[in-house]
Amino acid sequence: MKKLNENLMKLINMKKNEINSMKEVGLEELEDLNLEVAVDGEEEVEAEVEEPVTEIKEDPKEEKQKEDNKVEAVEDLNNFKEVVEERCDNNNVTIDCSIDDREQVTFEPCEDNKDITLLGPDRDGIVIKCQARLLNLRVRLKNVCKGRKIALGVLLCEFDSEGILRPRGLRSALIEVPNDGNTPKCTNVNVNELCFVLPDNNICHKRRVFVKVIAHYADLNPRNFCL
């Protein structure tokens, strides 16, 4: 009977120990669970703190208009490239500016110098090729409004062998008249460095050319005059 009681007490103590160990394990799991819940709660709070991104939607008509403008711009650029490729082929042009005069010179034995005269193929002298004249023009525009834009064109003409006035060159520029804000509102403008090249075979003869100036305001007031 005494042994039975001892065995019963041991069994009761073992059960108590198991129950205590289960309680300890349960507390650890509960603490881990509480920790996870706390971490999840912090993430949710942080997510709620983030400011929402508001998307600004454009007007469908304006968006479509922008897309159409982009398409038209790309088409215009492609058309321009095609035109340039068609009209701007690479061609080689050869200009012969050398003096075509060859003569054979023979030195005799023990002859260390020779004196000769080169007269050219026609024995009348050697002609210099690719001669030209340069005309550098300056134009003064008188009494023009300050702050305005002026379209300037200079046309160079010459009579040909048939007595017809032919163009020989054209230079143009868009000039903006300086505006100092002071009175008077008009000023004089000097336009420099308008250079023309006149190819020639022989610059020893006289040559007469005519210069014509064309100028007008390029910005009108009001600006929407052409609408």
Give the position of tokens 């068609």.
86
Helix, strand or coil, per DSSP, at residue 83: helix
Q: Phi, psi at residue 197, to the nearest 5°?
A: -110, 125
Q: What is the pLDDT of residues 109-149, one digit of tens each?
A: 999 998 988 887 778 888 888 899 999 999 999 999 999 99
Residue 45 has pLDDT above 60, yes or no: no
Mean pLDDT of 58-86: 70
Per-domain residue ranges for the chain? Answer: 1-33, 131-217
Annotate 213-226 with b (16+ C-beta within 10 A) or e (fewer). eebeeeeeeeeeee
Name 1's Cβ contacts closer than 8 Å, sequence gap at least 6.
none
pLDDT at res. 39: 44
Of the chain, the end-to-end C-alpha distance in Å amounts to 123
Q: What's the DSSP call for residue 53?
A: P
> Would you place residue 24 in the very low, low, confident or very high pLDDT band (cuts 50, 70, 90)?
low
**Dist CA 46 CA 34 (whole Å):** 18
Pairwise pLDDT comparison (96 vs 212), residue with the higher score: 212
Strand order in the sheet with 149-159: 165-176, 149-159, 210-217
Share of the chain above pLDDT 70, in %: 67
pLDDT at res. 86: 57
